Amino acid sequence: MIFSSKIIKTLLLAAFIIPFYSFSQRNEMVSQMSTQLVRDFNEFHIKPRKIDDQFGRCIHELLLNSIDDEKVLFTKENVAELALLAVEIDEDISTNQLIYLNRFKEILKEAVNSGTTNVSSYFSQKTNLLSVQEFSASLNEDFADKANHKKKWNYVLRNQVLNRLVDDLSDKGYIYHNDSISMLVKQAEKSIQSAYLDYLKNLGIDEVLNEI
């Protein structure tokens, strides 16, 4: 993709200025920047993108895939609500509004709080390596509804712990002791718990949400 210097300057200006504004000022700045970017792309881009309902859907998918590729943060209900708002993103841009983005931020904050609770709850107990659990293919491949959201979190976290354990056991340079499995499980749990809590903590920071 080819950008003109004017478009690049607009992007850089947004990245440096937006974090220093108050909430209302920031909203106004974001809406102004988005409108200006669309104008610049239409004028300077070799093949400007049409700003329509499909454009909004693409933004929606891009945000979900970049923030929640494991499809564990958001519920199916969250995604459905945002999908309905996404087709209005073109209208948001033309009317200098941030309806979709503001609602996305609200839902993400709720998801961060819920996710933090679920991660802490899962790791309050040891991972049972001998338990047999059944999950539907849809739970693995798609967002879970509210009723199964905690179950989806447990599924993802357990898989991550087991994957880390397998990686550690595959380390040819590792010297195994009698309590190796127990120790490696603890290490895997600590590593996965820390990674998820750090990620959720960063997503909960207002400046990070505004950059998103």
Residue 18: its pLDDT value, please? Answer: 52
Q: Does residue 94 belong to any structural domain of this protein?
A: no
Domain count for the chain, please give it: 2
For a pLDDT cut of 70, what percent of the chain falls above it? 80
CB count in 10 Å sphere of residue 206: 12
What are the φ and ψ backbone dihedral angles of 79, each rounded to 5 degrees?
-65, -40
Phi and psi angles of residue 70, each rounded to the nearest 5 degrees, phi first: -85, -5
87 falls within a domain: no
Q: Is the pLDDT of residue 81 over 70?
A: yes
Mean pLDDT, to the nearest integer, of 152-165?
92
Assigned domain for 63 exists: no
Instruction: Tell whether the model's pLDDT for residue 128 goes beyond 50.
Output: yes
92 inside domain: no
User: Model-level pTM?
Assistant: 0.78
Task: Confirm if 127 and 161 have CB atoms less than 8 A apart.
Answer: yes
Q: How many residues does the chain have?
A: 212
Question: Residue 114's CB: how many other CB atoms inside 10 A?
Answer: 18
Structural domain contains residue 1? yes
Cβ contact 182:165 at 8 Å: no
Cα 181 to chain centroid distance, Å, stands at 32
Residue 185 in domain: yes
Q: How many other β-carbons are positioned within 10 Å of the β-carbon of residue 101?
A: 21
> Which residue would you say has higher pLDDT here, 27 or 99?
99
Task: Give the domain extent around 22.
Answer: 1-49
The answer to whether position 99 is within a domain reads no
Within a domain: 189? yes
